[in-house]
Chains A and B, each alone.
Chain A
Amino acid sequence: MAFEIDNIFKTYQMGGVEVPALRGVSLKVDKNEYIAIMGPSGSGKSTLMNIIGCLDIPTSGHYFLEGEDVSTLKDDQLAVIRNKRIGFVFQTFNLIPRSNIFHNVELPLIYSGLPASRRRKLAEEAIEKVGLSDRIKHKPNELSGGQRQRVAIARALVNNPSIILADEPTGNLDSATGEEIMGIFDQLHKAGNTIILVTHEHDIAEHAHRVVKLKDGLVESDEIVRNGRYAEALQDA
């Protein structure tokens, strides 16, 4: 079991009014699953992603990450969980602009306190996995969008997390580059990683083997789609 979400509610206070974003969501995800979370805006998928990514905690309900209840942790404890167990890939890449590629990828390892030699090795491996070894000294603004997203993926990978959480990872890319990036996620999945895609694009979601659809803060459907176009190709490979 990668994680389990049990009857989670999340309510925001907005000008004295309580606005429910999640109204009792439950979800079990096994190791090495490849899940897409879909839903229109306002469906609560961002809120759910924030909770899965330990950026936020639920108002009620439980979230077990690899068996540990993380739904009541404090800020700094959540920071440790994010650092060690979650790899984020954002729509807007979110790289540190002043730092070069190597340093961007190395950063989570610095926060987990690894010695420099070990950090170098792990960061270089992660960068090699996304095929950017020749750009290691470049700054993010010297790279194309697709390359930046690869850097972000390398950064997500570098701490060997339990979950890779990708929020609209192709939203800022043209479709060809998007496919290229999705190819990397497919590879990562094949290599044994658990991947959560948050998207509203169907052809992106089709890369996943399971699609969870949210609507109005509830799970509307939860389907296994093992016969998706790319899944098929992957199974053949």
Chain B
Amino acid sequence: MQSFSDTIESLKIALQAIKANKARGLLTTLGIIIGIVAVVTTMTAANGLENSFKESISVLGSDVLYVSRTPWVHSGRWFEFRNRQNLTLKEADKLKIQLKKAVAVNPLTETRRSIKYRSRVIDDVSIVGTTDKHIVVSSGVPDYGRFLNHYDVEYKHFVCVIGSEVKKRLFETVDPINKKMKVGRYDFRVVGVMEQQGGAGMFGGPNFDMQIYIPITSFMKAFGGRDRDFDFVVKAPSTEALPDFEYELVGEMRKIRKLKPTDKDDFSINQMSTLVAAYNNVMGVVVMIGLLITGVSLFVGGIGVMNIMFVSVTERTREIGIRKAIGAKRRTILTQFLFESSVICLLGGLAGVILSFGVTALINSTVMPASISIPIVIVALAISVLVGVFSGIIPAYRASRLNPIEALRYE
């Protein structure tokens, strides 16, 4: 067992050696610094993306199932789904009656049209036909004005509720309530403005703030209802009940579709967790690639440190001889050099972490919200020490095995 004073001595020697070769140490750690900046930035960016993603899909709700013709996530198996029947409003009504546990069943459909207010035009805006149940199944609520109500749907009113960004871009400072705007060729009266929901459609998903909601009945009147495909948004009693609820939903849908027990489902149930899983797959690959690149740069950095440690051992061969002659054991010499390489790498790691704060601030102010978390810092520093041990072990081992007689004779 190595004594405590021995270890302290090893650490002191290591610090002394590094202090004596500052420029060399700095150049050596450059690889480590770059590697650590890469590690921290990759992990911080991944965290930031995940947060934005979660924020953007949280609108979907974790206690909500989507019945659609095709799954959200599929890998090029289009031919399997292309002959499926569209979901119809009739089916939605049947589902509403049969699935008693459902808190709400809300049919949805979407199209893209240009919108216009006075001389201002925005092209290709998502127009969503929905019902008054929309605010039950999703988390968005009107900021001011009101949402669509039962009568709007029943009597096919040409009214709309607009997303916060639509308001900002189309109406600027004008109060849009009760103003007429054009959706496609039709006039719609604005009755409400949704509060901002964020998410900015970063992942190709919908940007909820750029949507316009109109009654589903008015939608069909204006944009046609034949051959239109709907999504049913079905709210479960609770998140916990979701798996059982999904089972019942599938059962009812099969009844409505009159499927035989041997038939496959000709519809798909989607939910937020499907997206999360798909996202995790993609991010997993991205992070893997990031870490691979990082790994390579750390490896190269480590080789640099190893190289310097060999130089350091050779330079101090005589000193090693002296220390061995007066009683240093192999392990003492080993720790001395391991400490040296670890401290070099740890200092590099610290510098890397400090630089990463700068890089992250830059990302934060330009690309997306991102912040370095304490666990990331700890992981980064642990990695740098690990690289230090890895790159110091062979030179240190060689030093520890030096024959004291030959080492003392070394000029």
Question: Do the beta carbons of B3 and A113 come within 8 Å of each other?
Answer: yes
Contact of B325 with A94 in the complex, beta carbons under 8 Å: yes
Contact of A55 among B9, B17, B404 (CB under 8 A): B404
State whether B318 touches A94 (Cβ < 8 A).
Answer: yes
For window 276-331 of B, CB contacts with A under 8 Å fall at: 318-319, 321-331
- Cα-based distance from A115 to B5 in the complex (angstroms): 7
| Interface SS of chain B | helix
Residues of chain B contacted by A34 (CB below 8 angstroms): none
Do B408 and A94 touch across chains, with their CB atoms under 8 A apart?
Answer: yes
Q: CB-nearest residue of chain B relative to A81?
A: B327
Does B405 sit at the interface, judged by CB under 8 A?
A: yes
Q: In the complex, what distance in Å separates the CA atom of A96 from the CA atom of B326?
A: 12
> Is the CB–CB distance between B326 and A108 below 8 Å?
yes
**B367 interface hit (Cβ, 8 Å):** no
- Name the contact of A82 in the complex, choosing from B318, B319, B326, B408 (C-beta under 8 A): B326
B68 proximity list for chain A (CB < 8 A): none
Q: Closest approach, in angstroms, between the C-beta of A59 and any C-beta of chain B? A: 15
Across the two chains, which residue of chain A brings its CB closest to B411? A92
Of the candidates A50, A55, A97, A114, the one having the most CB atoms from chain B within 10 angstroms of its own CB is A55
Q: Which of A50, A94, A110 contacts B5 (CB 8 A)?
A: A110
Q: Does B332 contact A (CB under 8 A)?
A: yes
In the complex, what distance in Å separates the CA atom of A84 from the CA atom of B332? 16
Interface membership of A224, Cβ < 8 A: no
B20 touches A98 (CB 8 A): yes
Most chain-A Cβ atoms within 10 A of its Cβ — which of B16, B329, B331? B329
**A72-80, A173-181, A226-234: which one contacts chain B?**
A72-80
Closest residue of A by beta carbon distance from B407: A55
- Chain B residues within 8 Å of A155, by CB: 326
Residue in A closest to B10 when the chains form the complex, CB atoms: A110
A112 at the binding interface (Cβ < 8 Å): yes
A96 near B329: Cβ-Cβ < 8 Å: no
B330 pairs with A114, CB closer than 8 A:
no
Whether A82 lies near B6 (C-beta < 8 A) is: no
> Does A116 reach chain B (CB closer than 8 Å)?
yes
- Could you tell me which residues of chain A, from 130 to 163, have a CB within 8 Å of some CB in chain B? 155, 159
Interface residues of B in 1-37 (CB under 8 A from A): 3-6, 9, 16-17, 20
A98 surroundings in chain B (CB, below 8 A): 16-17, 20
Interface string of A9-50 (1 = CB under 8 A from B): 000000000000000000000000000000000000000001
| Beta-carbon nearest neighbor of A119 in chain B | B5
Q: Once bound together, how far apart are the Cα atoms of A96 and B318, in whole Å?
A: 9
Pick from B20, B321, B329: contact of A79, CB under 8 Å: B329
Q: Is A107 an interface residue (CB 8 A)?
A: yes
Within the complex, which residue of B6, B330, B408 is in contact with A111, where a contact is CB–CB below 8 Å? B6
A110 and B325 contact, Cβ closer than 8 Å, known pairs A55-B404, A98-B16:
no
Determine if A56 is an interface residue (Cβ-Cβ < 8 Å): yes
* Least CB separation from B324: chain A residue: A79
B23 to chain A, nearest CB (A): 17
Residues from chain A with a CB closer than 8 A to the CB of B319 are 96-97
Kindly state the separation between the CA atoms of A58 and B67 in the bound complex, as whole angstroms.
87
Residue pair A80, B329 in contact (C-beta under 8 Å):
yes
Measured between C-beta atoms, what is the minimum distance from A233 to chain B in Å? 32
A155 vs B331: C-alpha distance in the bound complex, in angstroms? 22
- Kindly identify, within residues 90 to 122 of chain A, every residue whose CB is under 8 Å from any CB belonging to chain B: 90, 94-99, 107-108, 110-116, 119
Whether B408 lies near A90 (C-beta < 8 A) is yes
Jot down 7 A-B pairs with beta carbons below 8 A, ordered by A. Answer: A55-B325, A94-B408, A96-B319, A98-B17, A108-B327, A110-B9, A111-B332
Chain A residues near B (Cβ < 8 Å)? 50, 53, 55-56, 75-76, 79-80, 82-84, 88, 90, 94-99, 107-108, 110-116, 119, 155, 159
Among all A-B residue pairs, the 3 with the closest Cβ atoms: A83-B327, A113-B3, A111-B327
